[in-house]
Structure 1
Amino acid sequence: MGTLTAFPIRPPSRVGASTARVAMVAAPFAVLPIALAAGAVGEVGRLVECPPLVLAAVIITIFALGSRGLHLDGLADTADGLTSSYDRERALEIMRRGNTGPAGVAAVVLALLVQSAALAAVLALPWGLLTGIVLLCLARSSLLIACAAGIPAARDGGLGAMVAGVVPRVLGGVGALVAAAIGAAVTVLSGRPWWQGIVAVALAAVVVAGLVLRCRKRFGGITGDVLGAVIEVAAAALLVALAAGR
């Protein structure tokens, strides 16, 4: 919770691979307080008949504030790094500076636009508020892919070096099955066919895996910024997949 949210949680006395592994696996549960706050605001918005797109934007904002905007910052830095010089060290230096460039701004704006529009469509479904919030929490399970065994850190030090490769592939596979089951359950609850939830999780996994592999090729591995980027990309993919159809 201390890493993935804005809540001031006392850090563990000892940090190692096992601690990092638990943190990455438990990432979807770390944002439950944010989810409860978003759900409460969303329910009030429904009662006062707030337009779905406005309500969706407010819910996305609550999740962004609850994480101190770190995931969006990671998305911006990753986009800047990927669109900068093909020199690895220069790209990492651009990401380290944190000065958001045109690519970073475009990535954040487009991600928020897609997430808000797709969430607005999900909110129109039966139990749409619950479904949308569950999917936003489920997006954090993308860290199982980003931190899978065999994926190195791009540089020494930082969050990326601490969590790179800490999730065994078997555990990641189990996590994917659990995510697919949860996705199928909320999809049925919202009146969609069960398989659409599984497709949503699979689509998010493919998109995240593609991004991670691209970052590995360009940067040599993952960084803390890449972790934020995969969460935002996964959220967009999950919401878009569930918003599709009638």
Structure 2
Amino acid sequence: MEFSFEITENDIARVKSFVRQHENGRFVVERRSRNLTESKLEITKEKFWKAMTGARLTSVQRSGPQSPVIRFLSSQPFPLAYCRVCEFEKPEHFIRSTLVNAGGIRFSNRIAEDLSANLEQLQSGAWKQTLADCNALRSATSPQDERRAADHIRITFKGFGPKQSRNLLQSLGLTRYEIPIDSRVIHWLKDFGFPVPLSAAALTDSDYYNFISDGVQELCRRSGVEPCIFDAVIFSARDGEDWERPNILF
């Protein structure tokens, strides 16, 4: 049995109208300049580690512009910088105490455990494939390339499902097609009349996530908008203009 998304001219017109309303917002302009540029900086261990930390922190708690998580990620110097955590033979305690001392960050024990395990995984050999996948996305990509990179993150690292693996890649400016289908996107798609059920729980299944992502990408393709811009427009329409620094994480 096969399923195909039937996209009407009215659907296309609605998407185009929605994008036009918000395409000049600061958040959308920032996303366009980072994710669609032809010249992207190399992804280093330091950059990937901070993006991984940010994506893991935001997966289980509010991450609005004034939230404790965003204040923590904006700290200079970054308290959990790669060079800093590597100073510890067993960094879990340091990560946990740093998160607790920051104040307001939930699930510090679980996050510290996951990040410590992921650091060990990276240092045990996962850096090579991870950085190769990321840096391959700096040039022209396909949806399949991005999905393979997201799958590597999902399979390799603790605390990363389909959504957060894409959130990590998007925060690095590497994705054009694969987007994190979060609560904002789910609400928009439901209001739009997306033809299949949507829930955060169902989207933890990678096959179902890919199925929904295929539908979103087809809607964007037919509407002439890059999925990463479509995602930024949804974000901007809800609360993107409240951000002083849109590129902290997203």
Could you say whether these structures have the same fold, taking a TM-score greater than 0.5 normalized by the shorter chain as the test?
A: no
Higher RCO (C-alpha 8 Å, min separation 6): 2
Q: What is the TM-score with the length of structure 1 in the denominator?
A: 0.28
Q: What is the TM-score with the length of structure 2 in the denominator?
A: 0.28
| Bigger proportion of residues as helix | 1
